[in-house]
Amino acid sequence: MRLLIIEDDESLASTLSRRLTKQGFICNVAHTSQQALVLAEQITPTHLLLDMKLADENGMALLTPLRGLLPQCHIVLLTGFASIATAVEAMRLGANDYLTKPVDMPTLVNALCPNTDLPTEVVSASDTVMSAERLEWEHIQQVLHCNQGNISATARQLNMHRRTLQRKLQKKPVKR
Provide the pLDDT confidence category of residue 120 given band limits of 50, 70 and 90: very low
User: What is the tens place of the pLDDT at every residue in 55-83?
Assistant: 778 888 888 899 999 889 999 988 887 77
Is 1 in contact with 20 (CB distance < 8 Å)?
Answer: no
Phi, psi torsion values for 120, nearest 5 degrees: -115, 160
| Amino acid, res. 4 | L
Would you say residue 176 lies in a domain? no
DSSP annotation of 129:
-
Residues 86 and 110 in one domain: yes
Question: What is the per-residue DSSP string for 74-127?
Answer: EEEEEESS--HHHHHHHHHHT-SEEEESS--HHHHHHHHSTT---------HHH
Q: Taking a C-beta distance cutoff of 8 angstroms, is the pair 128, 101 a contact?
A: no
Separation CA 31–CA 14 (nearest Å): 11
In terms of pLDDT, which residue wins out, 134 or 119? 134
| 58, β-bridge pairs | 53
Please tell me what DSSP assigns to residue 9: -
Among 7-21, 39-53, 124-138, the least confident range: 124-138
Domain assignment present for 36: yes
Structural domain contains residue 175: no
Instruction: Say if residue 163 is in the same domain as residue 85.
Output: no
For 26, the enclosing helix (H) or strand (E) is strand 26-30
Residue 66 lies in domain: 2-123
Q: Is the dihedral of CA 15, 111, 79, 81 positive or negative?
A: negative
Q: What is the CATH number of the domain that holds 74?
A: 3.40.50.2300
- Give the relative orientation of helices 151-158 and 132-146 as an angle to the nearest 10 degrees: 130
